[in-house]
A and B are shown apart, each in its own frame.
Chain A
Amino acid sequence: MTEPAGSEPAPAAAAVRAAVTGRRRSYGRYVAGKVAGAAGSLAFVLVLGFFLFRVLPGDPARTLGRGRFKTQDQLEEFRAQYGLDQPLPQQFLTYLKNTFSGDLGESLRYRTPVSDLILDRLWPTLLLVGTATLLATLIGVYLGVISAWNRGKATDKITTGTTLTLYSMPEWWLGLLLIAAFAVGMGPLPGIFPTGGLHSVDAEPGTIGYVGDTALHLVLPVLTLVLVYLADFSLIMRSSLLDEIGEDYLVTARAKGLRDVEVRRRHATRNALLPTTTLIALSIGFVVSGAITVETVFSIPGLGLLATEALTIPDYWVLQGTFLVTSAGVILANLLANLVYGLLDPRVRS
């Protein structure tokens, strides 16, 4: 804090250089920390996957094959096939080796490799979750800004009340209501949107009509997720902006002669958006969770539907695979958001 007298101008350039390199170094440290954290999370998920499917059930073969095996021989065969007759450490090593080489086992139902199934079902989920997160973020941030600037007024109360009510709905229940209202049609309302699926039967892949058809199929499921998770995003933005509103630098900005709108946009909102990045990333996990039930309601052939279908069998390796892949996806999305935040906020770098 102290400033040596008269030593200002000459070493300043050096100081700036030092600050710049120091900044790079400290961003490097920040990145390293976040990557290590994400790696830890991934490792934890791996261990958890093993624990959940092979340790927790006691006799995994019996649980896994519940009601499927008539004879002891069938059970033994199942055990041998999945290496469940080996000691746990040996099983863990095999599990690690297989997982890292992309071998997630074979589906009991489809008799195909789980990794193929997952790759097949990944895109619809990514499309759904990605679109919904993007829209919910944009609209949520906008609503958060509006209610923060009108704190305590009718606009704020209506916005917060509506989003909180939507937030209190099970997403799949809202999905059902939307299907009834806009797909089946209720009373005078005609059904405009398809009731489910991702494509029409007659849609030709690769054409513009195909894209439009997919978009039409996505309207209701995306709307469901956006409506339910809007509150998450708008409340985050609202409180983040309220933190900024009392700050002195906004008075400075007004004193400079900026209009109120410019003070909001250029200073308060922009600064409030920064910490919001990481908080929004944490909500991606919830959107993914919501997508699982929404896919079920709208029969969208994604990872969620794959998992819920696997539940009824139960198709263990599919469940394990979807658990590993969705968790890894959420962890990576979080990491990405944290890295972006580090780039955007200069304070992180020092």
Chain B
Amino acid sequence: MTTPASGPVTLTPRQVTRRRRALAARRTWASFRSHRSGLFGLALLSFFILVALLAPVLADGEGLEVTKATGGVLESPGSGGFLLGTDENGRSIVTLLIWGSRISLFVGLLATLIAMVIGTLVGLASGFFEGWPARVLYRFTEWFLVIPFVPLAIVLATVLGRSLLNIVIVIGITGWASTAMLIRSQTLSIRERPFVERARVLGAGRWHQMSRHVLPNVMPMVFANTTLTVALAILAETTLSFLGLGDPTRVSWGTMLDDAFSVGAMTTGAWWYIIPPGVCVVLVVLAFTLVGQALEEVFNPRLKGR
């Protein structure tokens, strides 16, 4: 099946690499498939991503505009043709949910990207280099790790002002520390492996060792961690929106919940305004968490069989 490069068909190193990658990907998928909860999460996730992508097809974007709202104030589900009723402005909850998924996922993914980039860079650097810069970075990470998220995020969001991008930045720069810690410990263990040592002895520069040996081996764990971080980022978006720090001009699940709380949806019995967005948050967060945990088990042999 896998013929070595010296076989009858001579392969270029690039082809060999590509084959090896394809094989690794197949093996990863086979291993992932055995995690039923991970598959469930993946299915759930695919559904929400599809909804977010197809939002313009599924619901008319005009339904978000307060001035063009067609329903009455807080109509209950079923009445007036609104499947899940309306909000205090007479907009369809279903439409808000569909378009809200875009903002919630966007914030979650972009904030995670920022956290991942900072976390991976700091983690790699503090794990790979020696001497005081590494120590300073490590300490810095450690300090950041113990600072409680919400107080810091509140302060940052207040200082920066209310906008979608600021929310993304706030979540991104408050969430990188645990990633950096993970990457650091992974880097430390990979740095000691024979193949990196061999490369070092053969005269490979730091950059070569890092980009060719350490980074590719750390990436799977980064990937698993990313998935888990998205879950936390989406939760963070909800919380910041609830605290009134979200972008008031955009509809996300978080701002929906904030509005619902402000108009007292819970005490007036308008459950259709407060339960569906919350359930969406729970499902998406759960989906990312399940997929992330399954990936962690696939990539970390120490966790196999749990």
Chain A to chain B: the 7 pairs with minimum beta-carbon distance, closest first: A289-B150, A168-B285, A44-B143, A285-B148, A168-B286, A173-B278, A41-B143
B115: chain A residues at CB < 8 Å are none
In the complex, the answer to whether B151 meets A307 with C-beta atoms within 8 Å is yes
- Residue numbers of A with Cβ under 8 A of B are 37, 40-41, 44-45, 48, 52-53, 56-57, 63, 151, 161, 164-165, 167-170, 172-173, 176-177, 179-180, 184, 195, 239, 242, 282, 285-286, 288-290, 292-293, 296-297, 307-308, 311-312, 314, 316, 319-320, 322-323, 326-327, 330-331, 334
In the complex, the answer to whether B286 meets A165 with C-beta atoms within 8 Å is yes
Q: B275-306: which residues lie under 8 A (CB-CB) from chain A?
A: 275, 278, 281-283, 285-286, 289-290, 303, 306
Knowing that A180-B267, A327-B151 touch, tell me 15 more A-B residue pairs with CB under 8 angstroms.
Answer: A40-B139, A41-B147, A164-B290, A165-B282, A170-B281, A176-B274, A177-B266, A180-B271, A239-B306, A285-B147, A286-B149, A289-B148, A311-B154, A311-B245, A331-B147
- The CA of A63 and the CA of B140, in the complex, are separated in Å by 28
In the complex, the answer to whether A307 meets B278 with C-beta atoms within 8 Å is no
A173: chain B residues at CB < 8 Å are 238, 257, 274, 278, 281
Flag whether B242 is at the interface (Cβ < 8 A).
yes
Flag whether B125 is at the interface (Cβ < 8 A).
no
Known contacts A169-B282, A242-B306, A308-B243; is-contact A285 B290 (Cβ 8 Å): no
- What's the minimum C-beta distance from A34 to chain B, rounded to whole angstroms? 11
- What's the minimum C-beta distance from A97 to chain B, rounded to whole angstroms? 21
B144: chain A residues at CB < 8 Å are 44
A161: chain B residues at CB < 8 Å are 37
Flag whether B34 is at the interface (Cβ < 8 A).
no
Q: Per-residue CB proximity of B226-255 to A under 8 Å, as 1/0?
A: 000001000100110011110000000000
- The CA of A239 and the CA of B306, in the complex, are separated in Å by 9
What are 18 A-B pairs with beta-carbon distances under 8 A?
A41-B143, A41-B146, A44-B143, A52-B159, A53-B155, A57-B159, A164-B289, A165-B282, A169-B281, A170-B281, A176-B261, A239-B306, A285-B148, A297-B261, A307-B154, A327-B147, A327-B152, A330-B146
Flag whether B69 is at the interface (Cβ < 8 A).
no
- What's the minimum C-beta distance from B242 to chain A, rounded to whole angstroms? 6
Nearest CB in chain A to that of B293: its residue:
A164
Known contacts A151-B306, A173-B278; is-contact A40 B149 (Cβ 8 Å): no
A48: chain B residues at CB < 8 Å are 147, 152
Nearest CB in chain B to that of A316: its residue:
B158
A176: chain B residues at CB < 8 Å are 261, 266, 274
- What's the minimum C-beta distance from B67 to chain A, rounded to whole angstroms? 26
In the complex, the answer to whether A293 meets B243 with C-beta atoms within 8 Å is yes
- The CA of A88 and the CA of B143, in the complex, are separated in Å by 24
A282: chain B residues at CB < 8 Å are 145-146
Flag whether B196 is at the interface (Cβ < 8 A).
no
**A323 contact from B151, B238, B274, B278, Cβ within 8 A:** B151
Interface of B: prevailing SS: helix
**A285 contact from B146, B243, B257, B286, Cβ within 8 A:** B146
B149: chain A residues at CB < 8 Å are 285-286, 289
In the complex, the answer to whether B147 meets A330 with C-beta atoms within 8 Å is yes
B235: chain A residues at CB < 8 Å are 168, 170
In the complex, the answer to whether A170 meets B242 with C-beta atoms within 8 Å is yes
- What's the minimum C-beta distance from B151 to chain A, rounded to whole angstroms? 5
In the complex, the answer to whether A168 meets B242 with C-beta atoms within 8 Å is no
Nearest CB in chain B to that of A243: its residue:
B302
- The CA of A172 and the CA of B244, in the complex, are separated in Å by 13
In the complex, the answer to whether A52 meets B257 with C-beta atoms within 8 Å is no
- The CA of A211 and the CA of B28, in the complex, are separated in Å by 56
B278: chain A residues at CB < 8 Å are 169-170, 173, 177
In the complex, the answer to whether B143 meets A322 with C-beta atoms within 8 Å is no
In the complex, the answer to whether A326 meets B151 with C-beta atoms within 8 Å is yes
- The CA of A180 and the CA of B142, in the complex, are separated in Å by 40
Most chain A beta carbons < 10 A, residue from B37, B143, B145, B290: B143
**B151 contact from A44, A179, A195, A292, Cβ within 8 A:** A292
Known contacts A165-B286, A168-B231; is-contact A326 B146 (Cβ 8 Å): no
- What's the minimum C-beta distance from B185 to chain A, rounded to whole angstroms? 14
- The CA of A240 and the CA of B285, in the complex, are separated in Å by 24
In the complex, the answer to whether A288 meets B244 with C-beta atoms within 8 Å is no
- The CA of A195 and the CA of B140, in the complex, are separated in Å by 42
**A293 contact from B145, B242, B303, Cβ within 8 A:** B242
- The CA of A217 and the CA of B267, in the complex, are separated in Å by 18
Q: Per-residue CB proximity of B176-188 to A under 8 Å, as 1/0?
A: 0000000000000
- What's the minimum C-beta distance from B178 to chain A, rounded to whole angstroms? 9
**A184 contact from B143, B261, B266, Cβ within 8 A:** B266
A286: chain B residues at CB < 8 Å are 148-149
Nearest CB in chain A to that of B285: its residue:
A168
Flag whether B156 is at the interface (Cβ < 8 A).
yes
- The CA of A331 and the CA of B144, in the complex, are separated in Å by 10
Known contacts A172-B239, A173-B281, A179-B266; is-contact A52 B155 (Cβ 8 Å): yes
A320: chain B residues at CB < 8 Å are 155
B281: chain A residues at CB < 8 Å are 168-170, 173
In the complex, the answer to whether B155 meets A323 with C-beta atoms within 8 Å is yes
Known contacts A52-B159, A169-B278, A170-B238; is-contact A296 B243 (Cβ 8 Å): yes
In the complex, the answer to whether A168 meets B289 with C-beta atoms within 8 Å is yes
B275: chain A residues at CB < 8 Å are 177
Known contacts A169-B278, A184-B266; is-contact A293 B239 (Cβ 8 Å): yes
